[in-house]
Amino acid sequence: MAYAWMPEARRIRAEPDGGPLRGGAPRAVWLTLGSIPGAVSVQSAAERLISEQRACHLIWDPLTGEVAQLVSVLRAGRALGAPDWLDWSPDRISARPRNVNTEGRICVQIGVLAAEAEPFTNGPLIGAEAILSWLDSWGVSRRWPSGRPSACHGGLPAGVRCRNRAHWARGGHFGASQVPGCENSGPGAINTDRLTGGHGLSARPRGLSATRKGTTALAIPA
């Protein structure tokens, strides 16, 4: 069964979301929120992104394993093309790409509480396997068509090799710096083998279940 709301994640609903998805290969996009590990809570980060109408689907703290979900997997997020950091100024925001947030049967945007200069895969990845298993249930292949995001570090403009639309069309996992039409620079030089290879990952995140009293997870056959 595939759940629109990750069962292990705390649910903090964002409105508005990015609208309906337009179809295509399922994919996941990893971005960093520019925070120092342990300095910002998942709750605070979620509230900030929601207030700025740039919510991603998941916010994850790899040090604690806490996960929050802001947007149903059946709807688009709003993080791609928006700033990669929580601390920003309006004059630093460029125009968002018109359609990239809606591309894919699913396009799960995962905001990690970390900074691109310090790859979060160098530390503990508590809860990563639970996230990956949920993505597996939605058909997101554990491959990186554009390779490791390190080659795109620094937010190169759209059209360069690391933002290859042919790669994007294949689906799978991407760094935000690899998304066509965006100027996102995260997540930095992460170790993709460690993240999606499942080596030494903890499967149990800490968070509030989406199926606790007052909520119901939407189950859809995989």
Select from 149, 215, 190 the least CA-distant residue to 62.
190
Is residue 10 within a helix (H) or strand (E), and if so which, with residue range? Answer: strand 10-11
* pLDDT grade for 169, boundaries at 50, 70 and 90: very high
Percent of the chain with pLDDT over 90: 66
Select from 165, 160, 169, 216 the least CA-distant residue to 7.
216
Q: For 52-97, what is each residue's pLDDT tens digit?
A: 889 999 999 999 999 999 999 999 999 998 878 887 655 555 555 6
**Alpha-carbon distance 145 to 166, whole Å?**
9
- Note the pTM of the prediction, 2 decimals: 0.84
Residue that the structure tokens 């460690």 belong to = 194
Give every CB contact of residue 166 below 8 A, 6+ residues apart in sequence. none
Q: Is residue 148 pLDDT above 60, yes or no?
A: yes
Q: Is residue 184 pLDDT above 70, yes or no?
A: yes
When comparing pLDDT for 136 and 88, which is higher? 136
Instruction: Judge contact between 186 and 32, C-beta under 8 A.
Output: yes
Select from 48, 40, 39 the least CA-distant residue to 12.
48
CATH for 1-222 (3.40.80, 3.30.70, 3.10.360, 3.90.180): 3.40.80
**Alpha-carbon distance 67 to 131, whole Å?**
9
Instruction: Judge contact between 59 and 46, C-beta under 8 A.
Output: yes
Average pLDDT on 110-116 reads 95
**Alpha-carbon distance 69 to 75, whole Å?**
12
And the tokens for 190?
Answer: 């992460």
Is residue 48 within a helix (H) or strand (E), and if so which, with residue range? Answer: helix 42-51
Q: Is residue 143 pLDDT above 70, yes or no?
A: yes
Percent of the chain with pLDDT over 70: 79
CB atoms within 10 A of CB 193: 12
